[in-house]
Amino acid sequence: MKRTVIPFCISMLIAALAVAGPITPKQARTAALNFMSRTVPTVTKSSSCQLAYAEAGQQDGDTLFYVFNVGGGFAIVAADDAVTPILGYSPDGHFDPQNIPDNCRAWL
């Protein structure tokens, strides 16, 4: 049983990664706004949602994630559909790319 389950799981993981696609800034903005409007009571779908930061990969230059300031908080959104869309959020405060703490910069 284990001999068939492990190779099957590995092949499914490879297949899932093979069909993963990039998320556009517009799609990421929609995901951030939808999540924040469901999670933070003061945010509505008509709240302000501005792209504050986008991180590009060092090897291929593809975007890794986006950060949107939404209402009075911010949301970090994955730029690939192979992972959970919302990587992190804060219901209050704004993301300032010029003042990222060292520990947060290392995580990002």
Residue 26 identity: K
Distance, in Å, from the CA atom of 21 to the CA atom of 62, rounded to the nearest integer, reads 11
In this predicted structure, the answer to whether residue 78 has a pLDDT above a threshold of 70 is: yes
Residue 39 identity: T
Distance, in Å, from the CA atom of 68 to the CA atom of 57, rounded to the nearest integer, reads 18
* Tens of pLDDT, residues 11-57: 666 665 556 689 999 999 999 999 999 999 888 888 889 999 998 88
Averaged pLDDT score across all residues of the chain: 86
> Quick one: what percent of the chain has pLDDT higher than 90?
50
Residue 86 CA neighbour count, 13 Å, CB half: 17
* DSSP-H helix ranges across the chain: 2-18, 25-39, 102-107
Partners of 88 in the β-ladder: 76
